[in-house]
Amino acid sequence: GGTSNQNSPTLTSSLGPGRRVELSERDFDSDGILNIFDTHQALDIREKTISSGQSHTCVILDNGSNSCWGWNNYGQLGDGGNFDNTTPILTSSHGPGRTAVAITTGGYHTCAILDNGSVSCWGRGGDGALGNGGTSDKNTSTPTSSLGVGRTAVAISSGEYHTCAILDNGAVSCWGRGGFGQLGNGGNTSKNNTTLTSSLGPGRTAVAISSGGYHTCALLDNGSVSCWGQGGSGQLGNGGTSDKTTPTLTSSLGVGRTAVAISSGGSHTCALLDSGELSCWGLGGSGQLGNGGTSQQNSPTLTSSLGTGRTAVAISTGGFHTCAILDNGEVSCWGWNSYGQLGNGGTSQRNMPTLTSSLGVGRVAAALSLGGIHSCTILDNGSVSCWGLGDDGALGNGGTSDNNTPTPTSSLGVGRTAALVDGDADGDGMFEHLDDYPGNSQKSKNCPLGTYGRFYCTDADEGHYVSQTGQTIQTACAVGTFQSAFGKSSCDDADVGYYVDETGQSSQIACELGTYQPVTGQTSCDDADAGYHVATAGQSSQTACAEGTYQPVTGQTSCDDADVGYHVAATGQSNQTACAEGTYQPVTGQASCDDADTGYHVAATGQSNQTACAIGTYQAVTGQASCDDADAGYHVATTGQSNQTACAEGTYQLATGQTSCDDADAGYHVAVTGQSNQTACAEGAYQPATGQASCDDADAGYHVATIGQSSQTACAEGTFQSAFGKSSCDDADAGYYVDATGQSNQTACAEGTYQEAIGQTSCEDADAGYYVNETGQSNHTACEPGSYQPATGQASCNVADIGFYVSQPGSSSQDACPEKTSTLANSSVNETQCLLDTDSDMTPDALDTDDDNDQLIDSDDNCPEGELSWNSSPATDYDGDGCKDQSLEDDDDDNDGILDDVDACPTGKIGPWVSSEIDYDDDGCVDQEDQDDDNDGVLDDVDACPVGELDWQSSSNTDNDADGCNDELEDQDDDGNGVVDASQLMLSGDGAVYTWTRIGIVLAFLVLTVIVVLRKKQKQNESETKEYSSAEDSTTELSTPQPVETQQQMLQQDGDTEQVESSSSVSQQWTDEQGNTWRNLSDGGNQWWNGTDWQDV
């Protein structure tokens, strides 16, 4: 601020509120190295120059050759042998003039991208891991099959038994074991040739690839991640645990976050995000996810902090551990640590990122690769350092011991170093994967809205803004706008009530008192109008003067009160108004004048007082200049009244201007106030007192016939009145009566009584043969046919009893049914309803299950309407057929089909005979009960021929020895002396023949007798245990019975004997399944019993 010389540094005056000089970006990453010296830093984010497998490691040297060490059982070191190497050893040639530009190690094989974009592999060839079309192991570099016409590889990564490469068109090709879908081609079979994966998504390509144990993940061109293969531990990151045979996007990496690097481990996966954070997913049991826990995560999960202010620039995953290169070149690891593979000097598991021990004085990591249980890094000087499990020489330091801190490998060769990848190819001091403008050394940051810069984004200052991305300068806010915050993409318009009159302002200015601004984004404020005011600063509007105030001047902060006798009726007024006539106002600052009160008046304008109305007058309305006289029917007793007083109820006044009212006369009333006349009581009402407001209604049971009455009259007998206020009484209705005066109700005739006339004092009894079943009836009702009533005054009729009927209405008695008849139910109406009742038990036969009351139900009774006055029992009804024995109704007492008058056994075996029973002599007695089966007069137990000749009687002339055998026809020893009749034996010629015939007959008779006796005993046994129709098998067909041969039939079978003449006899009798009775006759004929006699068939 002065003009004097200064010989020492002196601060200038202020550059402005909040202003400063813009400083150049000299150390944007705050690593203590100026940007101009902090360029072309080595960093291999894709693991192109070093790769660690299950137990071996390979690097690309600075001259493009390869060096490997560790386990070599399958030839995975590529040196042409199969022996392990504890120090780095060169691989065999990749071909004339060929060098490796990227290398990757799997579980037991190794692959490299050569400088011409082809791929060469060596080591274990099982499952087609080498991609050369075979499955044999190779211990020297062997080209894979074609990657496709014109296609080359740009990135490569090997898993446990498979390999995947990104082609120059962004597609992915895989080969080797595919059991979990890790080849991504939609199948789960192994492939020994390069095979394209399924689509990565519409328009999507891969920019980085990483193969894990049995899964594969790719970083896509839009920063998303897609995985495929084994998913059981959540290593695909899609929220599930299912295997996927085609590329499947992971779940979100975080709002607005994308991945810049990817690494797949044994059963877990980690991604380096664009924010420098790390996100991991999959198996977490050894802490390999770095989130502080050991739980499996199926979706991307951020690791714990990498350290205050630290971010990651590279990531690598092993079998069960993970390591990252930090932005300051240090290495941080976490997970399983039993063999020191975390490099922190211990062997304890770590669940969160933990720095390794020193990589060497001044040394930082430039590349990082993790194997199964060991870790290796390329340092910034091209040397290699490893740590972890040392078996098989995996650490390359010449031994096989484990090391839990970073340990340099043996020499890579005289003058040789590992190839270093320039992580900042454009030399702008920003790693390429973080460089928004790779290849542009003048700019590395695409600053977002609200920020600006080239290598570092600075928030826009207050009063400034940056409205587009990628800007290198900020813009000052225009006049009328301001910005109070840093890092904004626009400025705010000045609010209403405010203004901004300069550019680059961080605040707005409130409008002064008496001014206002209704519009936003303005540079000045407006004065308040006349009739308005603005009382406070920062107002968006002016305020109208309130009612009762006014303001004649502009730009004011307040308004003036209206004077006494004046008023201001509206807002925003610049003048006051005098009060009109009939109104007054004693107070200042009022919006109106007061009307004169009711009971008062004001006669002139500009008054501050009102005048009371005189006595006899009133004023009901405000603001009046005079008072009104009291009306007729009203009176006013005092002054200053706003109303006249109406005559009270029960009073009235004919004249006007009165001070009192008259009482209403008796028989009259005044129902409302303010009446000038009284009103006579109407018909049906009366009033005995004076000064009443109403008349009394005539009571129930009373009436008033004319108007203006002071008393009521009682209803006469035979009449009633149930309502109040009636001028007459009602006659009792038909069916009702009234037996006293002054009644309010009529009485209904009781049940059993009625009344046809109106206005009666009593009811009549119902006649005999009639009834009244309800009260209040005007007629009695005749009993209907089927009912009767012998008494008078009854409420119901009697139904005709069973056995009786009533055919005429109005009957006083019932008629009995004729003898031996009865009705089915009560209430019969004629004699035709009297039905047969054989046993006179009052139950007609149609309903009676025992019509003749013989104790046998009709369905079992062969004589259902038979003899009366007896009961069926064995003594009176031998065969139980319901027909009385020894009477005209039962002529076959034992029901054997033989009428009693010819039945030798009328009470023999019950029922028709069955086929096994025989009545040899047809005398009605079955042989089992017949003591003389052949009816020859000799009982069977002494009859030598019990079933002998029929139709003869034993006597001295026919049966000499009384043995029951006919001497002439069947007895060969007529005298019973045991000697065959000699005279017959001595005959010769025809006599001799006859004699021999008789001898034969006798012998046949003896045989027949034995057969009959045996059969008889058998039949007796069978008849005791079995019926012909078995209950157990009612469908069995009966065999046709074979009739027993009689003696006569037997004789007829001998052609040498004489024919014996005799009448036919019954040889067999039985009953079939349908209950029909049959019999065989001796002449071969058959007969059946029709219920009356035998019929020939």
The tens digit of pLDDT for each residue in 418-470 reads 998 876 777 776 677 777 788 777 788 889 999 998 887 899 999 999 999 98
Which comes out higher in pLDDT, residue 1051 or 196?
A: 196
Mean pLDDT of the region 720-743:
94
pLDDT in tens, 915-948: 556 777 777 787 777 778 788 788 888 888 887 7
Mean pLDDT of the region 529-552:
94
Q: Give residue 867's pLDDT.
A: 73
Q: What residue ranges do the domains of the chain occupy?
A: 47-411+430-434
Contacts of 159 (CB under 8 A, 6+ apart): 106, 107, 176, 182, 211, 212, 213, 214, 215, 216, 264
Predicted confidence (pLDDT) at residue 589 exceeds the cutoff of 80: yes
Mean pLDDT of the region 650-667:
92
pLDDT grade for 1080, boundaries at 50, 70 and 90: confident
pLDDT in tens, 240-255: 999 999 999 999 999 9
Cα(998)–Cα(984) distance, integer angstroms: 9
Q: Give residue 988's pLDDT.
A: 40
Q: Give residue 901's pLDDT.
A: 72
pLDDT in tens, 30-63: 556 555 555 677 777 778 899 999 999 999 999 9
Mean pLDDT of the region 976-991:
55
Neighbours of 34 (CB within 10 A): 12
Contacts of 149 (CB under 8 A, 6+ apart): none
Which amino acid is located at 74 in the chain? Y
Closest CA to 772 of 787, 786, 793: 793
Q: Give residue 969's pLDDT.
A: 82
Cα(993)–Cα(241) distance, integer angstroms: 122
Show the tokens assigned to 451: 């920020």
With DSSP H G I counted as helix, E B as strand and the rest as coil, what are the percentages for the chain, rounded to 5? Answer: 5, 25, 70
Mean pLDDT of the region 735-744:
94
Q: Give residue 1018's pLDDT.
A: 46
Q: Give residue 1008's pLDDT.
A: 56
Neighbours of 844 (CB within 10 A): 22
Closest CA to 379 of 434, 432, 346, 419: 419
With pLDDT > 90 as the criterion, what percentage of the chain qualifies?
Answer: 66
Strands in 19-134 per DSSP E: 50-52, 56-60, 66-70, 85-90, 100-105, 109-114, 119-123
Closest CA to 342 of 363, 361, 380, 368: 368
Predicted confidence (pLDDT) at residue 389 exceeds the cutoff of 70: yes
Neighbours of 246 (CB within 10 A): 16
- Tokens 């049995």, located at residue: 214
Cα(269)–Cα(280) distance, integer angstroms: 6
DSSP per-residue codes, 285-312 = TTSTT-SSS---EEEEEE----STT--E
Show the tokens assigned to 572: 């925003």
With pLDDT > 70 as the criterion, what percentage of the chain qualifies?
Answer: 87
DSSP state of 359: -
pLDDT grade for 951, boundaries at 50, 70 and 90: confident
Cα(447)–Cα(621) distance, integer angstroms: 81
Predicted confidence (pLDDT) at residue 762 exceeds the cutoff of 90: yes
Cα(955)–Cα(968) distance, integer angstroms: 12
Please classify residue 147 by burial: count the beta carbons closer than 10 Å to its beta carbon, then call 0-12 exposed, 13-18 middle and 19+ buried. buried
Which comes out higher in pLDDT, residue 1033 or 337?
A: 337
pLDDT grade for 1025, boundaries at 50, 70 and 90: very low
- CB neighbour burial string for 1010-1046, b if at least 16 within 10 angstroms, e if fewer: eebeeebeebeeebeeeebeeeeeeeeeeeebebbbb
Rounded to whole angstroms, what are the CA distances from 767 to 172, 764, 782, 796?
120, 9, 9, 12
Mean pLDDT of the region 735-750:
94
The rounded mean pLDDT for the chain is 86
Contacts of 301 (CB under 8 A, 6+ apart): 279, 280, 281, 289, 291
Mean pLDDT of the region 564-593:
93
Show the tokens assigned to 403: 């090391």
How many CA atoms lie less than 13 Å away from 852 in the CB half-sphere? 22
Q: Give residue 1062's pLDDT.
A: 39
Q: Give residue 1024's pLDDT.
A: 36
Rounded to whole angstroms, what are the CA distances from 565 to 311, 548, 605?
84, 12, 9
Lowest mean pLDDT of 855-864, 982-991, 1040-1049, name the range.
1040-1049
Predicted confidence (pLDDT) at residue 1095 exceeds the cutoff of 90: no
pLDDT grade for 18, boundaries at 50, 70 and 90: low
Cα(686)–Cα(707) distance, integer angstroms: 8
Between strands 736-737 and 713-714, the pairing is: unpaired
Show the tokens assigned to 809: 């209405």
Lowest mean pLDDT of 295-299, 982-986, 1062-1066, name the range.
982-986
How many CA atoms lie less than 13 Å away from 698 in the CB half-sphere? 33
463: Cα separation from own chain's centroid: 61
Neighbours of 149 (CB within 10 A): 5
Predicted confidence (pLDDT) at residue 507 exceeds the cutoff of 80: yes
- What does the CA dihedral 242, 244, 248, 250 come to, rounded to 10 degrees? 30
Predicted confidence (pLDDT) at residue 553 exceeds the cutoff of 50: yes
Q: Give residue 105's pLDDT.
A: 98
Mean pLDDT of the region 1027-1037:
33
First to last CA, the chain: 165
Question: φ and ψ at 1003, to 5 degrees?
Answer: -60, -45
Which comes out higher in pLDDT, residue 435 or 300?
A: 300
Cα(895)–Cα(1091) distance, integer angstroms: 10
Q: Give residue 1034's pLDDT.
A: 33
Q: In CATH terms, is domain 47-411+430-434 a member of 3.20.20.140?
A: no
Q: Give residue 1055's pLDDT.
A: 35
Predicted confidence (pLDDT) at residue 702 exceeds the cutoff of 50: yes
Between strands 56-60 and 66-70, the pairing is: antiparallel
Q: Give residue 916's pLDDT.
A: 54
Rounded to whole angstroms, what are the CA distances from 940 to 780, 931, 960?
88, 6, 17
Whether the CB-CB separation of 385 and 379 falls below 8 Å is answered with: yes
Helix (H, G, I), strand (E, B) or coil at 35: helix
pLDDT in tens, 816-860: 999 889 898 999 999 898 998 887 878 887 787 877 777 778 777
Mean pLDDT of the region 273-282:
96
Task: List, as own/partner pairs, every contact residues 531-535 make where C-beta atoms lie below 8 angstroms and the sequence separation is at least 24, other chains included.
Answer: 531/572, 531/573, 531/574, 532/556, 532/572, 533/557, 533/558, 533/559
Q: Give residue 907's pLDDT.
A: 72
Q: Give residue 1044's pLDDT.
A: 33
